Each structure stands twice: as C-alpha cells, then as structure tokens.
Amino acid sequence: MQKVKLPPPELQDENFHRDPLLRERERKKEIIERQHQISQEQQQQQQQRNNQSVPIKSQPVPQNPTPKLPPPQQQPPPQSKQDPAFVTPKSPSKIIDHGPDLDDFDDSFLFSDDIPDEAQLTNPTPAIPEQSSSTSTSVSTMFVSAKGANLLQQSPNSPNINLPQFDPKFVSPNIRRTVDPTKSVPVKRADLTSNNTSTNTSNHLKGGTAGGGRSFSPLHGGVSGKRVGMPQGAIQSKRLHVDNNIPLVDTAGPFNEVPDEYNPADSLVSLTTTKILVIGAGGLGCEILKNLALTGFKDIHVIDMDTIELSNLNRQFLFRPQDIGKSKAEVASRAILERIDDPNLKITPYFGKIQDKPREYYRQFSVVISGLDSIEARRWINATLMELVDEDTLIPLIDGGTEGLRGQSRVILPTISSCFECSLDLLSPKVTYPVCTIANTPRLPEHCIEWANQLQWARHFPDRKFDADDPDDVEWMYQTAKSRAEEFNIQGVTKQLTLGVVKNIIPAIASTNAVIAASCCNEAFKFITNSNPLLNNYMMYSGDESIFTYTYPYAKKDNCPVCGNLPKWIKAEKWWTLDQFIEELSSKQEVQMTRPSLTTSSRYLYLSNPQELEKLTRTNLSKKLKDLLIPGEEIVITDPKLPISLKVLVELVGSEVDPEFNK
C-alpha cells in the first residue's frame, strides 16, 4: 500500500496565500456589517412591540431612568460561548469577535496609532465613561493598546489585569508625516458615535482645481476629515501658515477601519477633471505622457523647449524620422491623441521654456511631473512651486531622472518634505577641463576633443555653430581630435566619444525610462485619488548588475536656500579677494551659480546685472574679502537665472598672505 503524504492543514485553506492584512480587514468589515444589521433588526422589533402595546390610562407606565452601567473595571464579562471580544482603538464603539486566538499571528496589520505614546504609558488617562446608545452591548468600552487587547483576550475574566488606557484622540508630538504603506498616520479622529451626525465641510482645498491644488468633496457617513497636527519644533518652513493646515493628509483613504469613509466615485471625478503638468517631452516625458493618458487623466499639459533630433528616435517612441526639427511637445501631444481613441482626452502642448510662463500659470495645476535633464530648470520649478504655497495651494512636484541603467523618482511636497535644492550635492559634478591643459599639455582623449571643439571649430568656422546631427560636422570634429591625439600619442579617440563630449550626452536606455516613468505616474495617481500613501520620499533604482530599488526619506536641510531658514557657513582664506571667493563659491556643488551677485545689509559687494551696476561694483573684485566684510555679517547671494537667494556666513581661516607668494 502506497503512503501518500498530505499537505499541512493550513495549506489546504484557500485563503492561505492571501495577504493576512487584507484578510483581517475583510473579516473585520464583515463582522461590523453583521453587527450593524443585527442592531437594526433589534431596533425594528422593539419599535414594533412599542406600537402594538397600548398602555392603560388608569395605570400609567412609570418612566424609570435608564440604569447606569458600572465602570469599566467592574463590568462583568459577556456571557457568550464565543471567544472574548477584541477592542480596537480605531472604532471604540465596535466590539469585534476575533475568532481563533491570534497570539502567533503576525501583528504587522496593527496600525501605528494603536500603540500608546510613551507619555500615555507613564500618565494613563482615566477610564472614559461609556456613551449611552440604544444598541449598547454588555461589554464596556476600553481604550487599550493592541498588545493589551491581546492580553485581555487571553484572560478576560481576570480582574487583576492592569492595562494602561489612553485617549484614542490623542496625537503624539512625534508625528510621522509620511508613513509605511502598512501603517496608518496618527490622526485626530472624529467622534464615531451615533450622536455625531455633522459633517466637516471646512476643507481649505474644497474649491475647484482652477484655484490650484486638489478639489475635495465632503466625506460621507457623518465622519469629518482627518487632520494631522505638527509640532512647531519640527517646522523648518518659512511659511508658518501651513503648520496647522496640511491638505495632503486631510484626506480619506480606502485602507482604514472607518466604514464608507472612502468614496471611489469622488476619486474618479478627480482623475478626470484634474489638470496635470508634464515638464519635458524627451525619453522620460514620452513614457510619462503615455502612462498618464492610459491611466485616465483627461486634462494634460506638456512643456518642452527642444526640437526632435535624429539621436532621439531610438528611445523616444512618439517621434518618427519625418518629425526631425519639430517641437517635441507638439509632436508628442499629437501622437498620443492619434493612438488613444478617447474624445474626452485633451493634451495641451507648449513649445518654449518653463521660465517664459508667469508664476500664476502654474497655480492651475494639481500635480507637476518633471522629466527634465537640466539641473537649472529643475531648480527653477522647485523654487517656483515653493513660492506658490499658500492656504489654498500646495502643488507637489514629482521629479524623475535617469542615467543609463540607473534612475530615481521622488515626491517633493513644498514646505513639508525636502526639496530638490536640499539634494543638490548628490548630483554628479559637471566635468570641465582647464583651457591651459587643453591647449598645451593634453593627457586624455577628452582633452583632444575639447581642443577641437572649443578652439579649432571657432577658428575655422566662425559664422556657424557645430551641428551634432550633421555627419560632415561630426566627421570634421572627429578627424581634428584624432590628429591632435596622434600628435601627443594619446589613444582612445572615437567618433562615439567625440559626440558624447561635444554634446555632453547623458546615456539613456528605454527600459530605465519606463521604470522611472511608471513610478512617477503611480505617485501622481495616488495623490489625485487618495488611494494609497505617497512615496516617502526618495526612490532609487539600479539595473546595471541586478534589479535593485531602495526607498528612504531624504531629510530637509535647515540651511536650504529654498525650504530652510538658516544661513550656510562657508570657509574662506583670509588672503582671498572677492573675485577668488566668487569663483570658489560658483564651483561648489551645493551652490551651482554661474553669475552670482553678492550683497550685505550695509553695501553691494558685486552685482552681475544690470551692466551699469556691474561697472560700479567691479572695483570690489580685486579687494580682499576680509576688508569688505564686517565680522558675522550675512551675505545674500542671488543669480538672475534662479528665483532663490542663498544666505551665507563666511568663516575666515588661514594666513593673510597667499602661500604661492611665499614660494
């Protein structure tokens, strides 16, 4: 007789492979609905009995007051054959039958606001008296932690259990503004009893999308919106009016324990009426436009200043050879509308720079997605959206970027999370070559190519620019650089390297663009529909040796010139002149200013624009920095291309004499 090994009993369960979190939520929802149905049936039966019974006039029925329930500590346990009730702080009026014991069950589904605060454990609040209700149960309401509820479940009849109780409406001062998707944000919850039937309609973003920001509709079911408090000490923003009004967390979500709080119909309306802006229609922008249109967004705007080149066609799939020389934004919009048969879809292109539009133009959008390869443009839109923040407008910036097989996406909530300027020092520095090395002693193939590009092209063709899409121009540049390399016995000059150096080409791969674009569009969808928590807040992707992603919260910087309020300390040599200080300042990765102007509270140090003021302040460039500054004086640095101002405090170090002079 052949023995057959049966699988374990738990594997035979059809729900074994389902997510325990979803199974537990579904089970709780079924129990709550069943209890609500039983409660309604009991009310109907009681009403029928009251209608059938007619009191005798000679014997009036005395109206006795409702007997008071004993305090929670003296309340006897329920006389039921079922397992003890499990009380969750999420819905204190709901007594949920937990079924089998869950001691060995993974409690990762428990929410973060189920765990009491440290101050509450040391100073427990007194027991909250049970509220009167027509459908009251025999079990008292207790506000305990999830761990304490498990302990109460194991020993329901023990009177000696000392469980710390706490107020479920309490909000800890250490609030996490963006949390793990499996956790809930600690919130001040509205009263969920039957007496609370008012609806909070004072949402500061309930206006239409034309006012900038998202349109919200009042919540259903008599439950007001959730509002997260923020400690004043954690605010690093210049705009304090946002401290107590955070629109991004004043929303309802589908994955909580408040019945009927999330209305999918409202999310569909927001999806079809929201205006969304895409900046850049290149390799990443083509993927983003396609994803947004297929996701269901109906009103999309796109801006790009570039025209289509031959080298774009290998990865920017919306373009064809006959489109070379045309606007990327216009061709991409037309290609999407031709391929997607949707009469309600509207894509508005704009051929030009983002700086050409007034700032109020960006106020109409609910989300801005950046697919730019220009650091300057990304800094500009980041600072612009930061300046637009007020009590009615908070527009998130979803920034994506790729380089070869690596990429990143991030969600920037102006004044709340770290901005693009906070992470400026993470960017790879731009490669530059000294002119003296290029002209006299080249050592690398890149030196030879730069020599041909910067020095020889202007000498031979002073009337026209180099065209990287012209085969004759590329061949001339390659042959000139190759002859220079042969003269100095340098190997490695190729036509591909020549194009890469001359055009400063960043390698781009279609698969990486698809991954990062999907992440950006997913965050936009979550933000508009409130279907899930947003990314917190930086996701990096690497696909060179293996597929690897990592998400972490990038912290704000106190001395950020955009979202911070503290000055940045910079060390300077005592012998430096103002000109040397400006040159050193411009080369710093966290500054990256090309034409800075420097002023103090007492004088103008140097103004790069306009030309008349530049002439008046030019004499200060040759003066020593220590002679121009008062100790402890703050320098304000601006750049005409960026809508930001950098506050700097200078620490003078070293000798007052140039070390090269002593040699």
Which residues are tagged catalytic?
436
| Rg (the chain; Cα; Å) | 33
Strand bridging mode 299-304 / 397-403: unpaired
- Match 């503004």 to its residue by tokens: 177
Is 582 within 8 Å of 639 (Cβ atoms)?
Answer: no
Residues in contact with 480: Cβ distance below 8 Å, sequence separation at least 6, in sequence order: 452, 456
Using alpha carbons, select from 298, 245, 232 the residue that is nearest to residue 270. 298
- Match 């031709």 to its residue by tokens: 338
229 vs 185: CA distance, rounded Å: 11
Burial of 78 by CB count in 10 Å (0-12 exposed, 13-18 middle, 19+ buried)? middle
- The values of phi and psi at residue 649, to 5°, are -115, 130
| Residue 165 in tokens | 């109780």
Residues in contact with 431: Cβ distance below 8 Å, sequence separation at least 6, in sequence order: 446
Using alpha carbons, select from 142, 149, 9 the residue that is nearest to residue 83. 149
**Which stretches within 488-624 are classed as H helix?**
495-503, 510-529, 578-587, 611-617
Entry field: residues in the chain:
663
Instruction: Give all strands of the β-sheet with 299-304 in edge-to-edge order.
Output: 346-351, 299-304, 275-279, 367-370, 397-403, 406-412, 538-542, 548-552
635 vs 632: CA distance, rounded Å: 10
Is 328 within 8 Å of 307 (Cβ atoms)?
Answer: yes
State the DSSP string of 223-242: -PPPB----GGG---S-GGG
| Residue 35 in tokens | 């209890």
578 vs 590: CA distance, rounded Å: 19
In terms of phi and psi (left: phi > 0; alpha: psi -120 to 50; beta: otherwise), the region of 476 is alpha
Distance of CA 14 to the CA centre of its chain: 38
Is 362 within 8 Å of 333 (Cβ atoms)?
Answer: no
Residues in contact with 157: Cβ distance below 8 Å, sequence separation at least 6, in sequence order: 77
Q: Cα dist. 64→42, 43, 51, 68 in Å?
A: 21, 20, 19, 12
97 vs 117: CA distance, rounded Å: 26
| Residue 248 in tokens | 């991004």
585 vs 598: CA distance, rounded Å: 11
**Which stretches within 549-637 are classed as H helix?**
578-587, 611-617, 625-628
225 vs 251: CA distance, rounded Å: 6
